[in-house]
Amino acid sequence: MSLDSRLRDVLHDNRFELPGWDDPVGRVRRGIGRRRRRRMMLGGAIAALLIAIPAVLAQHPFEDSPGIDSPIPFVDSEALAAPTHIARRSPRPEAKPCERMGDEPWLRQDWLRPGVTTVMLTAAAAPSLQRCTLHDNGGTTLTATNKTTGLREVFTAGSATPPGAWQAPATIDPGEPARLDIVAGKGCGQPFDDFTLAVQDRVYDLGLTTECPPTVTQWYVEPPLLNAPLTVTMKAPATVQRGQWFEYVVTVLNAFNRPYKLVDCPVYLQRIGTQAIWRRLNCDRLRSFPAHKPVQFTMRAYVPADQPAGITQLSWMAVMADGEVAIAEISTDGVKVEVV
């Protein structure tokens, strides 16, 4: 076979034929369509996110936004009954008997019960202070002079029952007071004065006057409230008007490194003078107290028209869902305002 014939055979042999591209125009169109569909799907997803994100934020806002830059506004709500779930210290077992009580009793008028005076007495200081229990054992008596007859009368401890949360006998830690209530109403026309209290062979002059014959509780302990890990401060006007509303600001600070979650919006007790009321706080979407960021609340209080003029106490306390409390200005139980 000549060279020319062999060359012609090779050129006509389809084994060396390169693969072709079927319908190139169609393939280009299909590629453009795929890219267009992908762009539409991506655009739809972005649009859905842009719609969904504001809705999610509306339902679950940033927890640290309300009340930080400006106070959460006051919203009037109906008065509530005092909560029953306030948490207190667990009861203590009895300890060794208190051997000697302190030199000076502390008397406190009960602002909720005007006819009640609480006598508080701590154990005497000792080289090694320990928990002890103050028993009555018939050794505590209250004596007073009946101003109508001029005679001294004796009232035995245990004839009345302490109200609210109390534990008896009074098992106290060093510095913690044992309490005894002297209960006497008004309008009886049987005044008593020159009260003395005998405890463990010691006699204390109380300097107390009543309008009715008193009854006396046994010695007891009022278990302290359990405090939430929150610091609460309060800023109020120096003077307030009788028969007028006024506003003040309560600031809650969580000093911990994690948010303090709120299961429910807390209830709060507001007291001015002898007027006290429970209401629910306006949380304004607040889900927690953020760490190291103060949250402010605008509060509003009414001064009764018959409130005596002069200095009185404004107090505020919130109760959380678990019973823990947050007390404004806890060291002074609030701030003083002048009623004019």
Alpha helices in 182-265 (DSSP H): none
Q: Is residue 206 domain-shared with residue 250, that is, in the same domain?
A: no
Cβ neighbours, 10 Å, residue 129: 12
Whether 249 is in a domain gets the answer: yes
Question: Is there a domain that residue 146 lies in?
Answer: yes
Look at residue 308 and tell me if it is in a domain. yes
Whether 204 and 263 map to the same domain: the answer is: no
Report the CATH number that the domain containing residue 149 is assigned in CATH. 2.60.40
User: Does a structural domain hold residue 188?
Assistant: yes
Average pLDDT by consecutive 10-residue portion of the chain (340 residues)?
64 54 62 77 70 55 63 91 88 90 88 84 77 83 95 92 87 91 90 94 92 94 92 97 96 94 94 91 91 95 93 96 94 93
Q: Do 178 and 209 share a domain, yes or no?
A: yes
Task: Look up the domain containing 133 and give its range.
Answer: 106-216
Residue 200 lies in a domain: yes
- Cα 247 to Cα 267, 296, 313, distances in angstroms: 18, 13, 15
**CB neighbourhood size of 2 (10 A):** 7
Residues 211 and 293 in one domain: no
Q: What CATH code is carried by the domain that includes residue 248?
A: 2.60.40.10
Query: Looking at residue 4, what is its pLDDT?
Result: 65
Same domain, 210 and 290: no
If asked whether residues 164 and 238 sit together in one domain, one would say: no
DSSP sequence for 286-305: --EE-BT--EEEEEEEE--T
Let me know if residue 335 belongs to a domain: yes
Q: What pLDDT, on a 0 to 100 scale, did the predictor assign at position 139?
A: 81
Alpha carbons 109 and 116: distance in angstroms, whole number: 6
- Record the tokens describing residue 298, joined without a space: 């605008």
Which of 239, 219, 223, 93 minimizes the C-alpha distance to 158? 219
Kindly state whether residues 274 and 183 are assigned to the same domain. Answer: no
**Pairing between β-strand 239-240 and β-strand 231-235 as defined by DSSP bridges:** unpaired
Q: Is residue 298 part of a domain?
A: yes
- Do 208 and 236 fall into the same domain? no
Domain co-membership, 209 together with 273: no
* Total number of domains constituting the chain: 3
In angstroms, what is the C-alpha Rg of the chain? Answer: 38
Phi/psi-derived region of residue 238, left when phi > 0, alpha when psi is between -120 and 50, beta in every other case: alpha
> Are 209 and 265 members of one domain?
no
**Same-domain status, 209 and 127:** yes
0.75 exceeded by the pTM? no
